[in-house]
Each structure stands twice: as C-alpha cells, then as structure tokens.
Structure 1
C-alpha cells in the first residue's frame, strides 16, 4: 500500500499547541528527574522514593474516566489553560517549600499527586482538541511532531537539565516547571475558541446526565467499535507483558548484562533514540506500508524483544533490540492515536480517550506488580521476559486478522 504523504502547513493554532506541549513536556521531564533526587535528599527509605514515583501515576487509575467525562462537558481550551495554571501554582508552592526548608515527603507526594490529577485532565483534553485544530488527513503528521517533541524534551533534554538545576538549587527545578506551565497556559489561551456543545441529556431526565452516566456512555462507545476494542485490549496486554518484564530491568542489566549504572542509563537511551526515529518516520511508514501492516509488525517486534532480552548476554544486542522497539512504540502510538481521533465523534473524544488511557496505564500498573512478584518467586530475572514473550505471542495470534480493520 502506498499513499501520498500529506505536506504543507499545519496552521498557527497547531503550532501554538505544539509549542505549549514542548514547553510543558520539558518541565515535566525536569520534575521527573528532580523529584526522586529531592525525596532521596530528605529520606533514604526506598518506600518514600517509590511513593513519590507512584504519586503522579495514581490519578490515572483513580480519575481517568471522570476526567474524560469532564473534558467532553467543558470547553477544552479553557480547561487546559486553567489546569496548567493550577499545576503551575502547585509546583511554585513546592518550590517555596523546598527553598524555605519545610518540604516533607508527604508534602512532595501531595504536590505530585495534584499535578497528576491535572495531567489526567490536560492530556485528555489536548488529545480531544487536536482534531479541531488540524484536518483529519494531517493527524498522523501532527501527532508525529507532538511525539517527537515529547521524546526530545522529556526524554533527552530534561534529564541532564533537571539534574543540573537540582545541583544548583533544590528548589530551582520545580520553579522552572511552574514557569513552563504558565507559559504553556499563555500559548493555549491564544487558540481560537472552539466550544463543543455538552452531550444532551436523555429525554425525560430533566437535565444533564450524571458523571457516572457519561462515563458509561464513553465505555460503551469504545466497546461498540470493534477496532477500538481490539486496540484497547491489545495495549492493556502489551503493557502488562512489557512492564512485567521491565519491573526488574535494572537488576537484569546488572546481573545478566554486567552493566554499571552508567551502562544502564545508556541502555535506556537506546530506546529513546529509536523512539525519536519512529516519531519522525511514522507518517512516511504509514503512507508506504499502511496501518495494519505496521501494527502487525509492531506485535512481532514486541515478541522478539522479550526473546532477545531473555537469551542474550551482550549489551549491544540488548541495546539494538531496544532501539528497534523504540521505533515501534512511537509508530504504534502515532497511528493508534490518530486513528482514534479520526473514528471517535468530537462529543465523545474525551471519554473514549480516557477509557483507552485506563487500559494503557492500568495494564502498566498490573504488569509492574506481576513482574516483581514473578521474579521474586522464581528467583530469576529472566522469568518475566519469557512470560512476556509468551503473552505477546498469544496476543499476536488473536488479533492478527482483526488489525485489518485499522486500514481506515
């Protein structure tokens, strides 16, 4: 399958959205690095560091569906602006607490939890807003740029910047992140207002549906579309399998590959480099091969990655496998997000996106818990990789034909 790659300008509104995303992703990445450093400087308890890591992730499991319903009720542009300002205030308060020496682990976790709640709203609203900013035929192009910006800002630039700012002053990274949220809010405030009428209440109810009813509508909407159902189930299984294996990846890198801390960091960089390449190539690959072929190849890469990691002792082999996997993850992400944006009506995008996010991040949480337990029970860091390879092999066989529906 070969089609023409869309070219041309994506428009002023997209570039504002793109720049706001780049700025906030850089700030998020800085906080992601500085947060554990701050907690470790206060407490040597591993549970405290783990709690700070979990705090911003927990809201996705608790509030993703409710956030999706709110996104479909409210003006998305104004919602993102308000949430970004709120997150900026929270991080500014944290920076002041650190500067004055009153920051505690519970306070840090609370700040990260609140910013995580905001993230469930802002990210869901941004994904729902994009199709209103760019034409449907340019969604892959737009999402590719957003994904590439995320990799460059969040995965590359933010890591050394966050550590450097923390060394200069422990409060500085959080003040920097607060400023990025303020700038992102300003840029998004300049978008043209595109109000979306709220979903109509059923006849005879005398008013708007409850949030619970709106959430149920979103779940049913995703389940009613076979291809979306297949993709949501696939990402859940993929993340259970992947996160089960990578829950003990730092131990694998040390015990199996013999890598130092620096070598472990370089190994992770390989997947980020692949991700950058994948986000750049996604649109052209789709035009050349088509979505079904790329998604099927992606599943095969998932299986191969786990088998390679379970059998090799060579760091360069593991790094090469992770780089290829990184290409696949970005291509998969761009294609699936664009397809979902194209298939789902505007009034339902927030709720359907939130259901998909719950499958995505819920699978990751389950996989992380299973991987640690399995490695501990078996006494081998390789057991989760073999289990992941088997699970992905079964998934590939089950959905291979169904992925033909992604050709739309």
Structure 2
C-alpha cells in the first residue's frame, strides 16, 4: 500500500501578515515604555514618601486589578470590538501616565496620585490584554498561534531587558517623573500601530449587536449591582465549536445574555473542559514559582552566592532569568510542531524542576547564572504553551472571558502567593528553603500532569 499522506502546506512567515506585524510593533513599543515604568514608578514613590510600605503597594497595584476586575474585563472584551477596546485603553493609559509629569510641572504631584496611576494603568492593561486574547487568533488563525505567541512573548522579553537598562540611565539623567513620559508616548504609539490593523479580524464578538466600550463597562457595573436580574437566554459554552476562529454576530433580534450570565459562560467552559482545567492549575503553580523566584532572588544572591549590595552581578542574574524567556520563545514553535500541548508539559515541567534544584543547590554564581537562564527558558515554554492551547480550544466568542479568568488565577493569585510563601519560608527555615518553594511548586505541577495523563484524561494523549 502506498502512502498517500499529503505534506503539510508551507505557511508564509508571520512578518508578511501586515495586521500581525502592526500588532507586534504596538506590543513592542508599549512594552518598552512599560519596562521603564516598572523601574521608575517605585523609585518615584520612594523618593516622594521614603516608605517601603507604599513601594510595596505600588508593586501590588500591578496584580490587584486581575483579582478586582478580571471577570469584568473578559466579559467586556467579548462584547465589544476588540481592536477599538485596545485603542481606547492605550489612549487612556497615555493620558493616565502623562498626568504625572503634568502634575510635577504644576508642583501638584502627590504620593496618592502616583499610587492611583499605578492601579489605573494596570487596570487598563488588563482590559487591553482581555481584548488581545481573542484578537491574535483572529489575526493569524489558530494554526499559527504557537509562532505568533512566541514572537509576542519573545519581543516582550527583549524590550523588558532593554527597558530596564534604559530606565536606569534616564532616571540618572532626568527626574523619574520625566522618565515616565516615555511610557505615555509609547502608549500613544501603540494606539497608532493598532489603528493600522484592518478592522476585519477584530470583529470576533459574542452573539448580539456590538456595544461601545464605555457603554459596555457602564452596563457591566449596573448589572453587577442588581442581584436579581436574570436573562432567559442560556447557552452552554462547552457545546461551542472549539475550532472556530471567527464568529458572525447573530441577528439583533437574538437576546444578549447579561453580564452575570456572560461571566458564568466563561467559567462554565473553563470548568467543563478537562484538559484546560488541569492546565489552568498547572499555570497557577507555574506562576507561584515565578513569584517565589523573583521575590527571593536578591536575598539568595546576598546570602548564598556572595553578591552583596550594589554588586553588578545581581543584574546579570535578573537578566539571565529574563533572557531565558528569549530562548523559550524560540524553542516553543519547534516543540509544538513535534509534541502536542499536554505531552509537552510532561516533558518540560520535570526539566524545569531539575534546573530549579540546580539553582537552589548552587554555591557558585556562575553555575546559578547558567541554570537560571535554562530555567527561564523552560518557564516560558510552559507559559506560552498553556496560553496557546487555551486560545486554540476556546471558542472565539469566549476568548476574553476564559483567558482573563486563567490570567486572574495565575497572575492575580499565583505570583503574589508565591512571593509571600517564599518570604515566609525564608524567614523560618532559611533562603535555600525559601527558593525551594519554587522548585516544589513546579514539581507538584509535573506530578499533576503525569498523574492526569496516566489516568487517561481526554485530550491529554498525543506526542511526537
């Protein structure tokens, strides 16, 4: 019998997709500004207040919006034109960050103003991300998601490394407030690149007529306040076709579910999809480990590796962790062409746990440096693989709700809990034990995927 299997068609490079190219540029420009702000904003707060508590509050403002508004942002993103949502949030972010240098020029800048800006800008970024979860699959198609997400996360890693370095130079040359002007300009530039993306791919919305962004938010707040409201329209998200990449809006005569019901739709799909449910648990454990690593790296460097005070090698350790993300972004598309999403977790998570153990047991900073870079590579492969799988199996009209809920659990809960748990263990049992909480979390994630696979959960088979 002859083999009649047809070869897979050669897909054109993503750089030839003008829509994705402009979206990638918008993310790169905005990411550079945000990387600068990540350094400059805490410095500004400390200069204004000399209070470590307020500095911690600004850091917490980056994750609190996921807990406070995660479900709302997902529901809004699935009801409005996603491209418009992202452009509006970029413009509002530019105004928000731009208010700081303006207040400084008017001699009216306060610590409270800075804290509010930190929280509001993080909230706007959450709404942007909620729109982007469904926007990318519509731009490139689900078969190109591994390449697209790797390109986006790789660019984010590169500009974060560059931006952190640029921030140090700018803070030395100009006041931290002046440094934040760069982020405001970057948001405006991001909005311009998004305007260059054609309208078509962004119009992937839930059934019913589209709603303006501001009206959708107002409706959400009003419906959330009324507890007795229910809609007669019910549909089961799990029955939606997982392969859909576009969705034609239904006629306006079909009633649109209320925001409460919209949120429940996303939660039902996530809870009802066995593989995605497990991968959400794995993603949260992975984020827990990331919070533990970043939260204790300075202490680990000081007490174990002999890197004290302003020793420049501490910067190398952080760069190694971030640079590992570049390796992961390059590696993932190749791995996804060889392995399905779940078997890939079975392979990479144990490797990540072993690399983490090497870091914890290291006494030489050079060994720790190499192991951290390799660990960062495994970390990003798991992160992007999980996100890609979620976008592949989630119906187009549920992308915002499902993926924002996942991000709420990982970034909103996993990262801060990991940082707090690692610091508590360090105080009671020492820094190696504190860093080992990250290894324990990844090991637990590896055990979960192997147990689930051995028990034969649907959707976990596959391989090379």
Q: Could you tell me which residue of structure 1 aligns to residue 285 of structure 2?
A: 237
1:352 aligns with 2:406: no
1:126 aligns with 2:132: yes
1:363 aligns with 2:371: no
Work out the CA distance in 1 between the residues paired with 2:444 and 2:40: 39
Q: Could you tell me which residue of structure 1 aligns to residue 206 of structure 2?
A: 198
User: Does the aligned pair in 2 maintain the 1:244–1:370 contact within 8 Å?
Assistant: yes
Work out the CA distance in 2 between the residues paired with 1:4 and 1:237: 37
Deviates more, 1:42-51 or 1:351-360: 42-51
User: Does the aligned pair in 2 maintain the 1:80–1:121 contact within 8 Å?
Assistant: yes
1:23-74, CA deviations, whole angstroms, 9 ceiling, x for partnerless residues? 1111111111111221222222211211122222211121111100110011
Q: Could you tell me which residue of structure 1 aligns to residue 155 of structure 2?
A: 149
- TM-score, L = length of structure 2: 0.82
Deviates more, 1:259-268 or 1:243-252: 243-252
Work out the CA distance in 1 between the residues paired with 2:110 and 2:307: 34
User: Does the aligned pair in 2 maintain the 1:291–1:406 contact within 8 Å?
Assistant: no
Work out the CA distance in 2 between the residues paired with 1:214 and 1:236: 23
Work out the CA distance in 2 between the residues paired with 1:230 and 1:3: 30
How far has the Cα of 1:87 moved from its partner?
0.5
User: Does the aligned pair in 1 maintain the 2:324–2:376 contact within 8 Å?
Assistant: yes
User: Does the aligned pair in 2 maintain the 1:5–1:283 contact within 8 Å?
Assistant: no
How far has the Cα of 1:335 moved from its partner?
2.1
Work out the CA distance in 1 between the residues paired with 2:95 and 2:52: 28
Work out the CA distance in 1 between the residues paired with 2:387 and 2:88: 24
The verdict on how the C-alpha distance between 1:160 and 1:3 changes in structure 2, with shifts beyond 3 A counting, is: same
Q: Could you tell me which residue of structure 2 aligns to residue 405 of structure 1?
A: 460
Q: Could you tell me which residue of structure 2 aligns to residue 307 of structure 1?
A: 357
How far has the Cα of 1:111 moved from its partner?
0.5
How far has the Cα of 1:6 moved from its partner?
4.4
Q: Could you tell me which residue of structure 1 aligns to residue 174 of structure 2?
A: 169
Deviates more, 1:284-293 or 1:107-116: 284-293
1:390 aligns with 2:440: yes
Q: Could you tell me which residue of structure 2 aligns to residue 318 of structure 1?
A: 368
The verdict on how the C-alpha distance between 1:210 and 1:107 changes in structure 2, with shifts beyond 3 A counting, is: same
Q: Could you tell me which residue of structure 2 aligns to residue 39 of structure 1?
A: 45
The verdict on how the C-alpha distance between 1:389 and 1:169 changes in structure 2, with shifts beyond 3 A counting, is: closer
Cα RMSD after superposing both structures = 2.4
User: Does the aligned pair in 2 maintain the 1:3–1:288 contact within 8 Å?
Assistant: no
Moved over 4 A (4+): 2-7, 204-207
Work out the CA distance in 2 between the residues paired with 1:52 and 1:357: 20
- The equivalent position to 1:76 in structure 2, one of 70, 82, 101, is 82
- The equivalent position to 2:295 in structure 1, one of 223, 247, 265, is 247
Aligned pair count?
A: 405
How far has the Cα of 1:174 moved from its partner?
1.6
Q: Could you tell me which residue of structure 2 aligns to residue 22 of structure 1?
A: 28
Unmatched 5+ residue regions in structure 1?
Answer: none
Work out the CA distance in 2 between the residues paired with 1:160 and 1:386: 29
User: Does the aligned pair in 1 maintain the 2:300–2:431 contact within 8 Å?
Assistant: yes
**Which structure: larger Rg?**
2
How far has the Cα of 1:324 moved from its partner?
0.7
User: Does the aligned pair in 2 maintain the 1:67–1:124 contact within 8 Å?
Assistant: yes
Unmatched 5+ residue regions in structure 2?
Answer: 1-6, 209-230, 236-253, 454-458
How far has the Cα of 1:245 moved from its partner?
4.8
SS of the residue aligned with 1:400?
helix
SS of the residue aligned with 2:108?
coil
- TM-score, L = length of structure 1: 0.92
Work out the CA distance in 2 between the residues paired with 1:288 and 1:309: 29
1:169-195, CA deviations, whole angstroms, 9 ceiling, x for partnerless residues? 223222111111111111112222232
User: Does the aligned pair in 1 maintain the 2:324–2:375 contact within 8 Å?
Assistant: yes
Work out the CA distance in 2 between the residues paired with 1:31 and 1:309: 29
Of the two structures, which has the highest relative contact order with CA contacts closer than 8 Å and spacing of 6 or more? 1
The verdict on how the C-alpha distance between 1:276 and 1:392 changes in structure 2, with shifts beyond 3 A counting, is: closer
The verdict on how the C-alpha distance between 1:329 and 1:307 changes in structure 2, with shifts beyond 3 A counting, is: closer
Q: Could you tell me which residue of structure 1 aligns to residue 335 of structure 2?
A: 285
User: Does the aligned pair in 2 maintain the 1:274–1:327 contact within 8 Å?
Assistant: yes
The verdict on how the C-alpha distance between 1:306 and 1:274 changes in structure 2, with shifts beyond 3 A counting, is: closer
The verdict on how the C-alpha distance between 1:83 and 1:227 changes in structure 2, with shifts beyond 3 A counting, is: same
The verdict on how the C-alpha distance between 1:152 and 1:392 changes in structure 2, with shifts beyond 3 A counting, is: closer
